[in-house]
A and B are shown apart, each in its own frame.
Chain A
Amino acid sequence: MAVPTIKFPAARGLTVLTVEAGHRFLDGTNVFRLDASLNTPDKGVTAIFGRSGSGKTTMLKIVAGLLRPDFVKVQVGDTVLCDTQHGAWVPPEQRRIGYVFQDTRLFPHLNVKNNLTFGRRFNPPSDNQALSFDAVVSLLDLSALLDRPIHHLSGGESQRVAIGRALLANPRLLLLDEPLAALDADRKAEILPYLEGLRHSLDLPILYVSHSLAEIRRLATWLAVLDEGQIKAFGTVEDITGTMDLSPLADDGDTGTVLAATVTEQVPAHGLTRLAAAGQNLLVTKLDLPPGAHVRVQVRPQDVALALERPENLSVLNILEGKINAIPESSGRPVIDVQVNIGSTKRPVHLWAQVTRLAAERLSLGADMPVYALIKAVSLDKDRVGLS
């Protein structure tokens, strides 16, 4: 996997997170190392993406203080949470790191309300930055659940309660460890809007561990790719997905590119919405959004076809002008990925197209060739377009 240039997001006020750790196991041979430094924005979601065993959960546990390796340094903003070289160790209960576990870990002897307020017993809200109970309840739509026992909750409801419980403990940083991994598709769809809501209304950096690209595209603004304990890439989701092929690391087989786009007009007669992306027109199935709304469009490589000339008499509505940027080595596979720049040379916008090796040979595709990327409007439905 090529290591792209790391481009740090130009956000106002950054919360810099530094995590370094090393651990020698008892047998002396197996050494674990982690070196991850992120300029996480002080608001919004930064996704940590990587295959199983890449150190994602370990990293979160080290930040929260649940693991204590031989050597460790964790710093959030100006606050050093631990630094073994200087003998610093803030115990985990004093770190104010909100942690949402994949398996929720709600307390079975308490009802929803008492689970939510658990952290307040130990961390009474002192400063006025703390979220109020009512605010969290309405943010996560929990008011109907407050008196329920924990085992009368669905998977999605449990996860909402777990998020609320972490928020009410007044965290400085919120860690979400694959909160949707244990849920089926329906439950995921039920909880995603709440997670989107958090992103918009919380003044809190959120680290979101996942190996689902679909979730990351929908929720995260920034993306860090973690491999063998190292940050391989860090940047905006659009940049990283546009420049790297992350599909081998994903578990959901959902690869592709995210395009930033703006709603330009509705086409009610045809049930379509016109967007502008990279200065070009993009028609998608109808979105209930006003002109000017910023959206993110997921384009799967297998939905993109390539042509050398502007095709006529074709059912495909979206024909984007571009230039082939790169064709990564695909070592004899029958299907190859082609990276097309549909933006300008100055402001490149990358799109991945998947074509067969046969087609690529017939068209003699190569770098810097001008091409037309064809995307069917029906492949860009509601599930692929979300608010940014």
Chain B
Amino acid sequence: MLGFSSLELDALQISLTISLWSVTWSFPVALGTAWLLARKEFRGKALLNAVIHIPLVVPPVVIGYLLLVLLGRQGIVGAWLNDWFDIGLVFTWQGAAIAASVVAFPLFVRPIRQALEGVDPRLEEAAITLGADRRQAFFAVTLPIVMPGIITGALLFFARALGEFGATITFAANIPGETQTLPLALYTATQTPGGDPIAMRLVVLSLVLALAALLASEWLSRRSNFRLRGG
């Protein structure tokens, strides 16, 4: 298709699958975490906040290695998953998605938390006097108001997950057709004699994907801003 080889298209498809899957599953976790950090006071809040932000400040390879220790076949959690559920994550695209999610997670939480902190919690109180229970009040009032923050977080998360390299190659390796994402394929191409044309085509694919994501988020935030203005 358009002169792209199946290896290149596979890399595109794996990248897209991993990023979209990561956004989908990370969204509720990020929303819950942001809500806890913005609205609740509890013991260990500072610690939770620090742990979430660790991936921003350590090299991704460190995260990949920690994931191996935790979720590898002999890992603390990984051995248990393997024995009881026959689930192995190492060297699979799901493993790559987990690596990308962990690394990009703080970028998802931060904008949502900031948006939540900007919403007056007394609006939910007003919704409750109008007949909404706590859950309905959150989904009918607070969630639509923080939607721009969610879109920003989702875009940052998506972009970071798409570009994830170090944690992925450490934890999920670089297996064509399974865990070889666009950046991994690009890296492989640059290490292969005569791989320059492949590398160039992969760069084009990456740029198109990034541009599409930016345009989509711009469109979404325009829409939600329009609604915020009551249009």
Contacts and interface: CB of A to CB of B under 8 A. Distances in A.
Interface string B187-231: 000000000000000000000000000000000000000011111
A109 B132 contact: no
Interface size class of A (residues with CB under 8 A): 20 to 34
A110 B130 contact: no
Nearest to A152: B230
A263 B133 CA distance: 51
Given A93-B133, A105-B120, A150-B230, A121 B140 contact: yes
A74 to B, nearest CB: 14
A4 interface: no
A66 interface: yes
B59 to A, nearest CB: 40
Nearest to A147: B230
B148 to A, nearest CB: 10
Given A93-B132, A105-B122, A118 B140 contact: yes
B22 to A, nearest CB: 28
Interface of A, helix, strand, loop or mixed by DSSP: mixed
B129 interface: yes
B145 A93 contact: no
A97 B229 contact: no
B128 A149 contact: no
A101 interface: yes
A374 interface: no
A105 B123 CA distance: 6
A73 interface: no
B133 A91 contact: yes
B132 A122 contact: yes
Interface in A198-214: none
A112 B231 CA distance: 10
Contact of B130 (A108, A109, A122, A150): A122
Interface in A72-130: 91-94, 96-99, 101, 103, 105, 107-112, 114, 118-119, 121-123
B126 interface: yes
A94 B132 CA distance: 8
Interface in A303-317: none
A169 interface: yes
Contacts of A91: 133
Interface centre among A97, A110, A150, A152 (most CB of B within 10 A): A110
Contacts of B231: 111, 149
Given A109-B227, A118-B140, A66 B133 contact: no
Contact of B129 (A92, A108, A121): A92
A382 interface: no
Interface of B, helix, strand, loop or mixed by DSSP: helix
Contact of B145 (A94, A97, A109, A148): A109
Interface in B125-176: 125-133, 136, 140-141, 144-145
Nearest to B144: A109
B130 A119 contact: yes
Nearest to B131: A122
A166 B130 contact: yes
A101 B131 contact: no
B50 to A, nearest CB: 28
A101 B120 CA distance: 14
A108 B128 contact: no
Interface in B58-100: none
Contacts of B126: 99, 101, 105, 107
A98 B230 contact: no
A64 interface: yes
Interface centre among A97, A109, A123 (most CB of B within 10 A): A109
Given A91-B133, A93-B132, A118 B127 contact: yes
A101 B125 CA distance: 10
A277 to B, nearest CB: 41
A101 B140 CA distance: 19
Interface in A117-166: 118-119, 121-123, 148-152, 165-166
A64 B129 contact: yes
Given A105-B122, A109-B145, A118-B140, A66 B129 contact: yes
A107 B141 contact: yes
Nearest to A118: B130
A165 B140 CA distance: 15
Nearest to A170: B131
Contacts of B228: 108-109
16 contacts: A64-B129, A93-B131, A93-B136, A94-B131, A96-B131, A101-B122, A105-B122, A105-B123, A107-B123, A110-B230, A149-B229, A149-B230, A150-B230, A151-B230, A169-B129, A169-B130
Given A93-B132, A109-B230, A119-B130, 15 more contacts: A64-B129, A105-B120, A105-B122, A105-B125, A107-B141, A107-B145, A109-B141, A112-B230, A119-B131, A121-B140, A149-B230, A150-B230, A151-B230, A152-B230, A166-B129
